[in-house]
Amino acid sequence: MRSFAYASPGTMEELLSLLNEHGPAAKLLAGGTDLMVRLRSGHILPRIVIDLKRVKALRPDIVETGSRGRPCLRVGARTVMTDLIQDERVRRHFPALVEAAGVVGSVQIRNRATLAGNICNASPAADTAPALLVYDAVANITGLNGARCVPLRAFVTGPGRTVLERAEVIESIDLPLPTGPRGAAFGRITRRRGVDLATINLCCLVKPDGETRFAYGAVGPRPFLVQDDSGVLANPNTPPAARDSRLKELIAQATPISDLRGTREYRVAMLLVMSRRTLATAIERL
């Protein structure tokens, strides 16, 4: 591991100033579950690591608030997966996100890893990304040029890449509270049970009006969201052939590759299988 400088700013102003000064040579430390692995392997060689734990504006909790005229749960940038999973409001309104967060690494990792960090890492296989996509999550970004809100569907631009600019950081993530009933389910396939990256992951959300959303991960350069408004998928009486035909149209937007976790052909086949399963569970929960 190459030596690097370490900073622990206490204010947002200090943090943004450091980011502006060092640019891409700076790496942020929140939970550190990805950062430490990459530092030790030499995959990243930062000049400075900036610890976020003392920045009071980056909260470690979940609060109810209003955002853009709609009530939501605001997940602070330093909120760890364990606290997200255990929060009664998240469990009630966003059960698929709880399922997704529950398979991120091990118990020890979930005690350290943050939701914001999982998204900023911008892995195509990030387990929380599909659930955040179907739930219309929004990233609240703060920078030297002011604040902005970016829907999660536009936040990740490619493997390891986001819309964050030189002196910007995620301050929180908003989860709009539901205005009516809905059913949602998360699913994934891995090479082995336990701590492993997903071969594919996905989330399905169904509403009473027939709207059905799917979000897929590990089958393209970034997680992506698709939607069916025909009512075909949400109707439990739809013939299986008609349902599969519509699912295949949605899945066609995936661009999986072959790698050590699975071949392209395997991923394509499992997308249909897992889409059927998560759809059935979402309808049942609705």
What 3-state class would DSSP assign to 140?
strand
User: Which residues in the chain are classed under CATH 3.30.390.50?
Assistant: 183-285
Average pLDDT per block of 10 residues along the chain, 286 residues long = 88 96 93 85 89 94 86 96 97 98 91 94 94 98 96 96 96 96 96 78 97 97 96 94 96 92 92 97 96
Residue 232 pLDDT? 95
Specify the CATH number for 62-176; select among 3.30.70.1140, 3.40.190.10, 3.40.50.300, 3.30.465.10. Answer: 3.30.465.10
Specify the CATH number for 5-51; select among 3.40.1130, 3.30.43, 2.30.110, 3.40.50. Answer: 3.30.43
Residue 23 pLDDT? 92
Cα angle for residues 147, 148, 152 (degrees, 5° grid):
140
**What fold is seen in the domain 183-285?**
Enolase-like; domain 1 (3.30.390)
Q: CA neighbours within 13 Å on the CB side: how many for 216?
A: 24
User: Which residues in the chain are classed under CATH 3.30.465.10?
Assistant: 62-176
Pair 274, 198: CB distance under 8 Å: no
Residue 176 pLDDT? 97
Q: Residue 91 contacts by C-beta under 8 Å, 6 or more apart in sequence?
A: 85, 98
| DSSP type of residue 40 | H
Cα angle for residues 40, 219, 255 (degrees, 5° grid):
125
